């Protein structure tokens, strides 16, 4: 798989961009690249790159996230360290952009640096199973809103058709006409298809580029228990 120095993932809320960003950063590390990932989503407190901090650290991936990410403190502020991703050109940088246009505003401060270097891939993560992007036309509208808010044009599409743990190979394959239509409307290629590892194995030969994924576990995935949640492996 060909990599740009900076790869950004953005999309509608719940599209799965955070899972993809984390797994892509881990892929870069497995390929021996010096990788870093930044959580620029200052809107959504439920799906955070920081949930995978242990796995990223063990893989040697530097993590940059809002100071109070994964806590109940809501302060929409990004650390100054995030500029390291656009300034240090020895890094392979991954950016997890906030959902929709509201989440993409934080990207604007980095856009001039990204455009100047011009070695980036801005991927729109599309999931037709989500309520507000059920049609390619709806997804295109979200895409244009994000571009306007962040000031950075998309360069490609990621097929992340999924129904969480109910996803099977048919969920992904049934979305191919949707992705073809979205590609035609936007003029952008479908860069890759993302799926859980056991499904990704089945997709060989059906789609040209597949990103096998392990899914993050969230607080609300844990069994009910009294008191504060106990630590457990994210990728069980």
Residue 127 near residue 171 (C-beta atoms within 8 A):
no
CA 174 to chain centre: 22
Residue 67's pLDDT is 61
Q: Which residues contact 31 (CB under 8 A, 6 or more apart)?
A: 3
Output DSSP code: residue 204.
B
pLDDT tens-digit profile of 28-50?
A: 999 999 999 998 876 665 556 77
Q: What is the mean pLDDT of the chain?
A: 86
Please determine, for residue 54, whether its predicted confidence score (pLDDT) is greater than 50. Answer: yes
Domain ranges of the chain: 6-221
- In this predicted structure, the answer to whether residue 68 has a pLDDT above a threshold of 90 is no
Say whether 125 sits in a helix, a strand or coil.
strand
pLDDT of residue 123: 98
State residue 80's pLDDT score. Answer: 82
| Mean pLDDT across 205-225 | 72
66 versus 194: the higher-pLDDT residue is: 194
One of 3.40.50.2300, 3.40.50.300, 3.40.50.10800, 3.40.50.720 is the CATH number of 6-221, namely 3.40.50.300
Structure tokens that stand for 127 in this block: 């999931």
User: Which pLDDT value is given to residue 102?
Assistant: 76
């Amino acid at each position: 798989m060909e990599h740009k120095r900076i790869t950004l993932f953005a999309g509608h809320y719940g599209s799965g961009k955070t899972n993809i960003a984390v797994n892509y950063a881990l892929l870069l590390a497995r390929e021996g690249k010096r990788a870093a990932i930044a959580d620029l989503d200052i809107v959504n407190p439920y799906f955070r790159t920081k949930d995978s901090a242990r796995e990223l650290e063990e893989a040697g991936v530097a993590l940059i996230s809002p100071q109070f990410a994964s806590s109940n403190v809501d302060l929409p502020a990004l650390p100054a360290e995030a500029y390291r991703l656009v300034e240090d050109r020895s890094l392979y940088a991954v950016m997890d952009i906030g959902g929709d246009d509201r989440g993409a505003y934080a990207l604007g401060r980095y856009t001039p640096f990204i455009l100047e270097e011009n070695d980036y891939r801005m991927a729109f993560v599309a999931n037709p199973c989500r309520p507000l992007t059920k049609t390619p036309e709806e997804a295109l509208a979200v895409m244009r809103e994000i571009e306007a808010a962040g000031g950075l044009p998309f360069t490609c599409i990621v097929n992340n058709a999924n129904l969480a743990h109910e996803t099977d190979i048919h969920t992904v394959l049934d979305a191919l006409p949707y992705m073809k239509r979205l590609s035609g409307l936007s003029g952008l290629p479908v860069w890759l298809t993302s799926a859980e590892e056991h499904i990704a194995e089945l997709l060989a030969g059906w789609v040209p580029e597949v990103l096998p994924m392990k899914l993050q576990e969230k607080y609300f995935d844990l069994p009910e228990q009294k008191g504060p949640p106990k630590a457990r492996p994210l990728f069980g």
